[in-house]
Chain A
Amino acid sequence: MSMNISCPFCGDRPLEEFAYGEVYDIPESITDPDERNLDRAFFYNNTAGVQREAWFHSYGCRRWIYIQRDTITDRIVKHE
């Protein structure tokens, strides 16, 4: 899989320069703090659709950037 990510500091750069970072999104419906910790540790939304994620530009400016990507089409919907 290859795609380009538009880094606000370095411009349009290939995916291989970045490291993937997860943005945890625990559902509001889980209210118990222990349950939330458990969810944080082991469970995932695994979104089929648009999700927010962080990428670290490890071979570039070494800064975290946030994007919204559609996991079904691999299209980047929004650069934040």
Chain B
Amino acid sequence: MNEFQERKVKLKWHEPKKNYDVIIIGGGGHGLAAAYYLATRHGITNVAVIERKYIGGGNSGRNTTIIRADYGIPEAMAFYKRSVDLYYQLEQETDRWMMFKPKGMLRLMHSEANMQSAIKRAHTNTVFGSPTDILSAAEVSKMVPEIDMTGGGKYPVVGGFLHHAGATARHDRVNWGLAEGANKHGVHIHQRTAVTDLIMSADGSKINGVRTDKGDMYADQVLCAVGGHVTSIGNMAGLRLPIRTHPLQAFVTNHYERKFEPIVASLLLHFYISQTARGEMLMGAHVDRQPAYNYRAGYDFIQHCAHHAMTILPFLRKMRVLRQWTGLCDMSPDASPVMGLTPVEGLHITTGWGTWGFKAIPASGESVAETIATGKQAELIKPFGLDRFAKDRTMGDLGSTGTH
């Protein structure tokens, strides 16, 4: 454990035990949220979270921190609405400042067709409890005066779509808050512990525990909340997974001296931009077409994304790129997550968090915790089970991802 992380996250260290009720592989947002809700909602505290690196060091700390619920299909709208609701009370509940800031999410529309689909989506979102308004071009301009309404002469802004619940939060603080909250209730968090294998029953139909580089641990329920290397864990259990791992890139500029309130996104130009608490302009995102497991970033993405963003927001011309980073996205074929029970008894999964993982942390944690505690797939995530592919009940929602 290094000094920095010890000062920031006050975690109590526990000696690894032999037996737990639940073992969670992966100490990212989803794993920690599951541990937190298991402890607080279901009273299951004999839980271990196993993290290969350190808390907040994986893909939970490598996203673009957007929280929103304006999704395209009813099942997803209900799920992400729940997630946003939980986010709004998370700071109070964990008593930890997460820099949560409601901002509103403004999507720009560039054509009649864009506008039509936006109107449809705004209505369905409003019906599903996330108030969303359609704005005229004049209202968009008044809200964000920086926008060039001619779109550089090429992509004129004809209107907007304002999703009021849109917000941002500091990603590692969310992890720290959940980790501390779970830890306070007695959950063991083992950092710098890598899972090397799963302990399966003789016929491979049931999971009994995990093998780690710090020794074996046994539990009847194991949750795989791994980001990136989920297929490796699946292979250990003999499971085929509908996941491909792609790098996702994003970057921030230097400090912008004025307040830039909403999150601005353009589906046509494939970019979204928001201001961080430090005043930097955060832009993303781009999913590399080829699967890969590395964190390398490239110039072509900065070039494309910056070009598109500058078309709409000319003030960005004066800004400089400060940092660029890459996270790993587990993309499912229908662009929806995969959560809940698996064919292996006792093994639960939460994966497929392509570009929608951060905003789903509380709802996924809550639903997966419920599934573990009751042994039945929670109502909210019933449509998102691993069995949906064999049943041909896919949840296609690629249009809501906001990346390309």
Contact = CB atoms under 8 A, between A and B. Distances in A.
Interface of A: 1-2, 15-16, 19-20, 38-39, 41-48, 53, 69, 71-74
B289 A43 contact: no
A34 to B, nearest CB: 9
B1 interface: no
10 contacts: A1-B288, A1-B296, A2-B299, A20-B289, A43-B240, A43-B389, A45-B231, A46-B244, A46-B245, A71-B245
Contact of A16 (B231, B300, B333): B300
B242 A42 contact: yes
A20 B290 contact: yes
Contacts of B291: 44, 46-47, 71
A74 B289 contact: no
B333 A42 contact: yes
A43 B288 contact: no
Contact of A46 (B243, B299, B300): B243
Contacts of B43: none
Interface of B: 229, 231-232, 240-245, 247, 249, 288-294, 296-300, 326, 333, 389-390, 394
Contacts of A73: 294
Contact of A71 (B241, B289, B293): B293
Contacts of B249: 1
B347 to A, nearest CB: 17
A43 B290 contact: no
Nearest to A51: B291
A52 to B, nearest CB: 12
Contact of A48 (B247, B293, B298, B390): B293
Contacts of A20: 289-290
Tell me whether chain B's interface is mostly helix, strand or loop, or mixed: loop
Nearest to B304: A16
B298 A1 contact: yes
Contact of A1 (B231, B241, B326, B390): B326
Given A1-B292, A39-B240, A74-B294, 14 more contacts: A1-B288, A2-B300, A42-B333, A42-B389, A43-B240, A43-B241, A43-B389, A44-B241, A44-B291, A46-B241, A46-B244, A48-B229, A71-B291, A74-B292
A16 B288 CA distance: 11
A12 B33 CA distance: 47
A43 B242 contact: yes
A1 B242 contact: no
A56 B229 CA distance: 27
Given A19-B289, A20-B289, A48-B293, A1 B247 contact: yes
Given A42-B242, A46-B244, A48-B231, A53 B389 contact: no
Nearest to A53: B290
Contact of A74 (B241, B296, B389): B296
A45 B326 CA distance: 22
Contacts of B326: 1
Contacts of A69: 290
A48 B232 CA distance: 8
A39 to B, nearest CB: 6
Contacts of B232: 48
Nearest to B389: A42
A43 B235 CA distance: 12
A12 to B, nearest CB: 16
A25 B300 CA distance: 30
